[in-house]
Amino acid sequence: MSEFKKSICREYFESIVVAVILALFIRTFVVQAFKIPTGSMERNLLIGDHLLVNKFVFAPTLTGAQRSALPVTSIARGDVIVFKYPEDPERDFIKRVIGLPGEVIELRHKRVYIDGRPIDEPYVHYLRPPSDVRSPYGVADLREQFGPVTVPPDEYFVMGDNRDNSQDSRYWGFLPRALVKGRALVIYWSYENVADVYRAAGDGSVIRRTGSTITRFFTRTRWTRLLHQIR
């Protein structure tokens, strides 16, 4: 009888160990959860959106055969990526890839030019409209005018979709390829926490909670955003 109980306990223990190892492997190499903390990607990604990040899609491979056999791709313009913030690698940022290695990036009245040609950006959101094109280019506002700069090898130029409220490559420079963690995949949950919104806006107002936790879960969950694919 004691041997039977010991066998059952051992099976449970082994199952738990395998589950933990599998979970750590998935989180480290395949998928990671990420929460949007600021409004730098509005209106495409909102404060309180919870994302799944595909960490495997940009994984390096050793040979061309491996690259063709595995679902691995190169970083492309327009990809929404999560990465380690270059000035503080303990923090994760999320931005959109705008400039690729070797390209010349320039902003003129908030419009992005790559190698001298303007690009179409339907995802961009401005808090204020761009300045008049007839105004001088020498404006000392990086939200209006920037560059031209050339993106170095193995680095990228990234920007937030909310161009007037984003700390991105215009301010801290290029993003090394080694700091990229993965591509944002899908919103699995979205919750409007009023306190988070006020903090992100720099407002010191006191937020008074009303209703039970269960009630707030249903009333503040943004149901229409669930399973929304990130583009």
| Number of domains composing the chain | 1
Pick the range with the lowest mean pLDDT from 123-132, 157-166, 172-181, 207-216. 207-216
Q: What percent of the chain has pLDDT over 70?
A: 69
Locate 150 and state its tokens. 């050339």
User: CA-to-CA distance for 31 and 188, rounded, in angstroms?
Assistant: 12
Place of tokens 């209106």: 43
Place of tokens 């161009």: 163
Please tell me which residue in 40, 166, 169, 190 is annotated as part of the active site.
Answer: 40
Range of the domain at 81: 2-229
Q: How far is CA 116 from the centre of its chain?
A: 27
Pick the range with the lowest mean pLDDT from 2-6, 47-51, 118-122, 169-173. 2-6
Q: Is 95 a catalytic residue?
A: yes
Look at residue 135 and tell me whether its pLDDT is greater than 80. no
Q: How far is CA 63 from the centre of its chain?
A: 28
Beta bridge pairs of residue 81: 95, 183
Q: Taking residues 18-27, report their average pLDDT.
A: 49
Please tell me which residue in 55, 95, 169, 190 is annotated as part of the active site.
Answer: 95
The per-residue pLDDT for 72 is: 58
Model confidence at 4, pLDDT cuts 50, 70, 90, reads: very low
User: CA-to-CA distance for 53 and 32, rounded, in angstroms?
Assistant: 5
- Better-scored residue on pLDDT, 150 or 129: 150
Query: 182-220: per-residue pLDDT in tens?
Result: 999 999 999 887 665 555 555 545 445 555 677 777 788
Query: 46-103: per-residue pLDDT in tens?
Result: 999 999 998 877 755 444 544 454 455 789 999 999 999 999 999 999 999 999 999 9
For residue 49, how many other CB atoms are within 10 A of its CB? 24
- Better-scored residue on pLDDT, 134 or 226: 226
- Cα dihedral 93→97→99→105 (10° resolution): -70
For residue 127, how many other CB atoms are within 10 A of its CB? 11
- Better-scored residue on pLDDT, 52 or 15: 52
Average pLDDT taken over every residue of the chain:
80
Q: Is 15 a catalytic residue?
A: no
Q: Taking residues 140-165, report their average pLDDT.
A: 93
Kindly state the greatest CA–CA separation across the chain. Answer: 89
The per-residue pLDDT for 15 is: 53
Among 74, 60, 78, smallest CA distance to 121 is for: 78
The per-residue pLDDT for 7 is: 67
pTM over 0.85: no
The per-residue pLDDT for 62 is: 42
CB 122 within 8 A of CB 181: no
Amino acid at 101: P
CATH number at residue 72: 2.10.109.10
Place of tokens 């395998």: 18
For residue 160, how many other CB atoms are within 10 A of its CB? 25
